[in-house]
Structure 1
Amino acid sequence: MEPTATRRRPRLAQTLVDDLRRQIEAGALPVGAQLPTEPQLEAQFDVSRTVVREAIAELRAAGLVIPIQGKGMFVTDLATAPAITLTPREIQSIPHTLETLEFRMAVETEGAAIAAYRRSAMQEEAIRAANHEMADRIQNGGSTVEADFAFHQAIAAATNNSHFVDAMTRFGPRSIPRGQFPTLPSANDTQYLLGVLAEHDRILEAIADQDPEAARAAMREHLTASQKRYRQLSR
């Protein structure tokens, strides 16, 4: 790719983000509305699929939209929420949270791929059970942090490599960022948590299908969304 094209793409993505954000804030895309599809956004703004996906990733990281499996992206009620005010302790936690997510990105993307071709039927069931537990917690309004961590820990176990298990055990449930930021609206927001669950579903199904590439990509997408969200808090 030519350098000029590389430089232009972030600007195009930011332009698209800004335009969609204005539509959301103005009510042209109200809470619950479906975002135009990727092909529609490509045609409307005359940009590439890559630009559209980068823009949508930014909107997801900002908590403005969430994916609903099989349907598309929808505007959340977080889009109309007041500005976020973090406590001093939460502000101090941001750098460590970003470092943890960076480490998890390096380890868990490959771990998911390895789990996809090494997992046993029993290990697959353990991953599925953790995901079901998280779904139950969302439905009942309970804390999802422990179940979320159990999901990732079960994937580490399915690699059948003790170093992946050791890495997850070292961090424990504190590696789930929202547990460190209780004042964030998304920490207990049902729509947001269902979006996280949908990301888990994609990881789970790729592992169940023994598709390493799909598992790697699904885990990368999942952790990238978290990274972007918490980077925005540090600005």
Structure 2
Amino acid sequence: MRTNARARQRLAQRVIDELRMQIETGKLQTGDQLPTEPQLEAAFDVSRTVVREAIADLRAAGLVRPVQGKGVFVSETSARSGLLLTPIEVKSIPETLELLEFRMAAEGEAAAIAAYRRTAEQEAAIAAANRKMALLIEQELSTVEADFEFHMAIAAATNNRFYVDVLRHFGARTIPRGQFPTLPEANDRAYLEKVHAEHAEILAAIADQDPERARQAMRAHMLASQRRYRLLAELQAQ
């Protein structure tokens, strides 16, 4: 599973880079339909999970949009050129990337420690936060608070107050989408379900008391966020 998580990140990035290049060079133009999932799986020799992860990131960046019952289409140029971010959001991108880099180191280790130190009650608290997020996704309500609770519960499960202090210091701004309310991903159900699935992998590793698997699952989760916000930074620089 550790290898799969890291490999999936690399494969998804390859799909993203290729599709983005096709969009930017005009090979895929506004309104064009992307190949179907099976076609993309065959073209890139990847799994359906990798394809869905790549499409979720492209959707979150505003490059493509789904049409119910028809497929995924290239967004209009205006929808992807600036993403209508506010000046404050644009300025927040570099800090967001720096914070994600820091969190990858700190929370990756926190997840590993939690895997062998957590009590039954602490594991239950992590699971409860994850269930809360799933319910909020279903109700189409904000998940930022539940997302933060999930990460705080893991910090608490280390039984090391410094991990808790660090996350508490940054507060809910540790959850990037909370700082970018105009981004499509802020309320995109497919994207939020992907985040929830990443959380589920972390929770499963902690529940199984597998420190290395928990560490790598958390790192994969952070790498996925980094990838999305690096893409956003690149789009803003154009």
Q: TM-score range by the shorter chain?
A: 0.7 to 0.9
Structure 1 position 200, deviation (Å)? 0.6
Matched residue, 1:172: 171
Pick the aligned partner of 1:62 from 58, 64, 74: 58
The 1-side partners of 2:108 and 2:85 are apart by 30
The 2-side partners of 1:148 and 1:22 are apart by 35
Structure 1 position 26, deviation (Å)? 3.0
Matched residue, 1:232: 231
**SS of equivalent residue, structure 1 residue 183:** coil
Matched residue, 2:184: 185
1:194 maps to amino acid: E
Consecutive unaligned residues of structure 2, counting only runs of 5 or more, are: 1-10
Q: 1:41 to 1:160 in 2, by over 3 A?
A: farther
The 2-side partners of 1:191 and 1:57 are apart by 9
The 2-side partners of 1:94 and 1:42 are apart by 30
Q: 1:123 to 1:233 in 2, by over 3 A?
A: same
2:32 maps to amino acid: A
1:25-174 → structure 2 map (5 Å cutoff): 26-29=32-35, 33=37, 36-37=40-41, 40-41=42-43, 60-63=56-59, 80-81=74-75, 82-83=79-80, 84-174=83-173
Structure 1 position 28, deviation (Å)? 4.2
Structure 1 position 111, deviation (Å)? 1.0
User: What's the C-alpha RMSD, in Å, of the aligned pairs?
Assistant: 3.3
The 2-side partners of 1:101 and 1:227 are apart by 6
**SS of equivalent residue, structure 1 residue 98:** helix
Q: Identity of paired residues, percent? A: 51
1:62 maps to amino acid: L
Q: 1:166-211 deviations in whole A, cap 9, x for unaligned?
A: 1111111111000110000110111111111111111111111111
**SS of equivalent residue, structure 1 residue 234:** helix
Aligned length: 205
Matched residue, 1:218: 217
The 2-side partners of 1:35 and 1:208 are apart by 36
Q: 1:56 to 1:189 in 2, by over 3 A?
A: closer
**SS of equivalent residue, structure 2 residue 59:** coil
Q: 1:126-158 deviations in whole A, cap 9, x for unaligned?
A: 000001111111111211100000000000111
The 2-side partners of 1:172 and 1:16 are apart by 35
The 2-side partners of 1:24 and 1:119 are apart by 50
Q: Report the TM-score when normalising by structure 2.
A: 0.74
Greater mean deviation of Cα atoms: 206-215 or 75-84: 75-84
Q: Is the 8 Å Cα contact of residues 112 and 219 (structure 1) preserved in structure 2?
A: yes
**SS of equivalent residue, structure 1 residue 147:** helix
Q: 1:214-235 deviations in whole A, cap 9, x for unaligned?
A: 1111111111111111112222
Q: 1:15-66 deviations in whole A, cap 9, x for unaligned?
A: 4764699499631425xx45644xx4555xxxxx7xxx7x98765543379x
Q: 1:136 to 1:24 in 2, by over 3 A?
A: farther
